[in-house]
Amino acid sequence: MATKLSDNHIKLAIQKDGRLTEDTHNLLRTVGLHFESYKQRLFSICRNFPMDILYVRDDDIAEYVAEGVVDLGIVGRNLVVESEKPVEEIMPLNYGHCSLKVAVPADSGIERIEQLSGCKVATSYPVTTTRFFAERNVDVNVITISGSVEITPALGVASGIVDLVSTGSSLRLNDLVAIDDVLDSQSIVIGNRDSLANSHKSAIIERLLTRFRGVITASEYKYVMMNVPTSALEYISTIMPGLKSPTVLPTADVEWMAVHTAIHEDMFWDVIEELKTLGAQGILVSSIEKMFV
């Protein structure tokens, strides 16, 4: 009998083959889902969770979610905004970071978007681009290009572009400079509104989101173990704004205590430097796979 999708399962659409695919697979595996995946597959059934995974083109994901073909999607926020589909943006996933920027040739002398007034602007994101310039009362002629937007100024097709940038190397390679930000994007979970209002489906969705949260929160923290002079313990506890107070354990030497805590990445290096100044020794750092707070 051919394998088929189950009515009792929720359905999740992910990018079939592209920039977000590997990180999305890694996330699904890290949250403990077991499923077969190989290139030709259209869908997979999770063996240990009531969910089926559909592999689709990423520019179709918002549409499938809005129409209820699937309950959830994982997709770049840029595509959700561009699609203007009525879906719920549920959760950012902290990968696939990029931003949609206005860029112009480095030697154009253009520094502000107002200077593009009356000019052609090429983009693969015409809806978002048109709205951006209209909101700023800058009248441009938006030209829709499906790929390699960054070469259009050199070809004389447009005076400026609106394109996705992550490292900026593609802009540099084409002698372009960014002059404004249109939109920040990353991979996000989107949901169908009816599915989120359905008690059976929303309970499964919430179980999945709890797992995602555990992985995302963990990726923002480092687990730190160290020995600190007992005399400095009180002060050291105050500079380590862990989740709760750090775990403090006695060591064989009363002059030293062992301290374990989780430190957020934003303050990690500052805290480590201060800990060393205060005499902390044997500082061990490890990443955390999952964390539930």
In the complex, the residues that contact ligand AMP under the rule CB under 6 A are 18-20, 58, 76, 78-79, 96, 98, 164-166, 185
**170 vs 202 by CB, closer to ligand AMP:** 170
Question: What single-letter amino acid sits at 184?
Answer: D
- Nearer to ligand AMP among residue 10 and residue 56 (C-beta): 56
Shorter beta-carbon distance to ligand AMP: residue 57 or 264: 57
Cβ atoms of 80 and 20 closer than 8 Å: no
Contact partners, residue 167, CB within 8 Å, separation at least 6: none
Contact 212, 90 (CB under 8 A): no
Least separation in angstroms between CB 62 and ligand AMP: 11
Work out how close the CB of 18 gets to ligand AMP at its nearest, in angstroms, rounded to a whole number: 2
Q: Helix or strand or coil: residue 215?
A: helix
**Residue 6 is encoded by which pair of tokens?**
């189950």
Alpha carbons 257 and 115: distance in angstroms, whole number = 62
DSSP state of 240: -
In the complex, the smallest distance separating the C-beta of residue 143 from ligand AMP, rounded to whole angstroms, is 18
Give the nearest distance from C-beta 60 to ligand AMP in angstroms. 12
Least distance (Å) between residue 47 CB and ligand AMP: 27
Distance CA 211, CA 243 (A): 19
Q: Which is nearer to ligand AMP, 16 or 264 (CB)?
A: 16
CB 141 to ligand AMP: min, Å: 23
Q: Which of 23, 99, 22, 75 is nearest to 189 (CA)?
A: 75
Decide whether 31 or 98 has the Cβ nearer to ligand AMP: 98
Q: How far apart are CA 288 and CA 277, in angstroms?
A: 25
Which CB atom, from 74 or from 257, has the smaller least distance to ligand AMP? Answer: 74
Which residue number places its CB atom closest to ligand AMP? 76
C-alpha–C-alpha distance, residues 58 and 71, integer Å: 15
